[in-house]
Amino acid sequence: MSAPPAEPSVIGALSPSRAGDFMTCPLLYRFRVVDQLPERPSPAAVRGTVVHAVLERLYDLPAPERTVRAALDLLEPQWQRLLEREPECAGMFADEREQATWLAQARDMLERYFTLEDPSRLEPAERELYVEAVLDNGLMLRGYIDRLDVAPTGEVRVVDYKTGTSPGRDFEAKALFQMKFYALTLWRLHGTVPRVLQLVYLGNGEVLRYTPDEADLRATERKVSALWQAIERSLTTGEWRARPSRLCGWCDHQALCPEFGGTPPPLPERRPGDTLTGGRRRRAASDEL
């Protein structure tokens, strides 16, 4: 009896967020992943984390109790829970009035959610599901899926909550890349292509749905593999180019960016055999960017 094929050696790991960083700006990827520079908490990102936590906890309740009032009642406890874990988030606000406005915006998003879905009619198979799969080239794909719905007939729907507004048509492909990344990971794990990818935009109350097929996911795998090759080239050459865009205004690292007259710090020393994997951890506020 022949032995099963050996698992490929892991050469590195990539999440949708970090893949997005590299596509946005290779230097930003370096600052976050290679240098692991600290970043200030972002009110928008932290609000996203809290709203996600509320929606996750909402489905702990019996279906009839999943009401708007119940969701709003969960908001303050989840905010306090985050503060206990990441106390630096308290410094995001100039005063109590600013914090109250921020919380009011989170309440608006939760109320808007109920205009898009009826949680009393849903029973998610998974929430905040951590997934990882290793491609044939040794690259590990991983990330957190907000919600996984499985129909009685077995079809899978991947759901992601976004606390921003839906993208224009020209930016839909970028938004869907994250979902195709998750779909590729699930396909490599279980051998089944998810039936629907669904982005729920709580900022303006729109839902974007997409039906992938194997060709889509093979193309995504090629794109992800090409991205990793580009990252490996930067690791080898030490060249991490800045890519200026309108997002630079929100970047914490302008003082170190050549585009703004700064100088990046020396690259950390890498030993032979080091793999760029970061470490598996609970999704933090920064992962919502």
For 81-95, write each residue's pLDDT tens digit. Answer: 999 999 999 999 999
Residue 139 β-bridge partners: 12
Delimiting residues of CATH 3.90.320.10 domain(s) in the chain: 12-17+125-237
Q: How far apart are CA 163 and CA 206, in angstroms?
A: 11
Average pLDDT over residues 148-155: 96
Average pLDDT over residues 200-225: 97
Share of the chain above pLDDT 70, in %: 90
| pLDDT at residue 5 is higher than 70 | no
Q: For residue 2, what pLDDT band results from cuts at 50, 70 and 90?
A: low
Structure tokens at 56: 């996750």
Average pLDDT over residues 50-70: 98
Q: Convert the pLDDT of each residue in 224-239 to its tens digit.
A: 999 999 999 999 999 9
**pLDDT for position 136:** 94
**pLDDT for position 4:** 54
Average pLDDT over residues 111-135: 97
* Paired sense of beta strands 139-150 and 156-162, if any: antiparallel
If 0-12 CB within 10 Å is exposed, 13-18 middle and 19+ buried, where does residue 6 land? exposed
Residue 143 β-bridge partners: 131
CB distance 166 to 208 below 8 Å:
yes
Average pLDDT, the chain: 91
How much is the pTM?
0.90
CB distance 190 to 177 below 8 Å:
no
| Strands in 171-287 per DSSP E | 196-201, 206-210
**pLDDT for position 275:** 57
Q: How far apart are CA 98 and CA 91, in angstroms?
A: 11
C-alpha to C-alpha distances, 115 to 110, 161, 265, nearest whole angstrom:
9, 14, 48
| pLDDT at residue 288 is higher than 50 | no
**pLDDT for position 289:** 28
Q: Which CATH class is domain 12-17+125-237?
A: alpha beta
**pLDDT for position 170:** 66
**Residue/partner pairs of 150-154 with CB below 8 Å, 24 or more apart:** 150/125, 151/195, 154/192
Q: Convert the pLDDT of each residue in 244-285 to its tens digit.
A: 999 899 999 999 999 999 999 999 886 554 556 544 444 443
CA dihedral 71, 74, 75, 80 (to 10 degrees): -170
Q: How far apart are CA 163 and CA 52, in angstroms?
A: 9
Q: For residue 181, what pLDDT band results from cuts at 50, 70 and 90?
A: very high
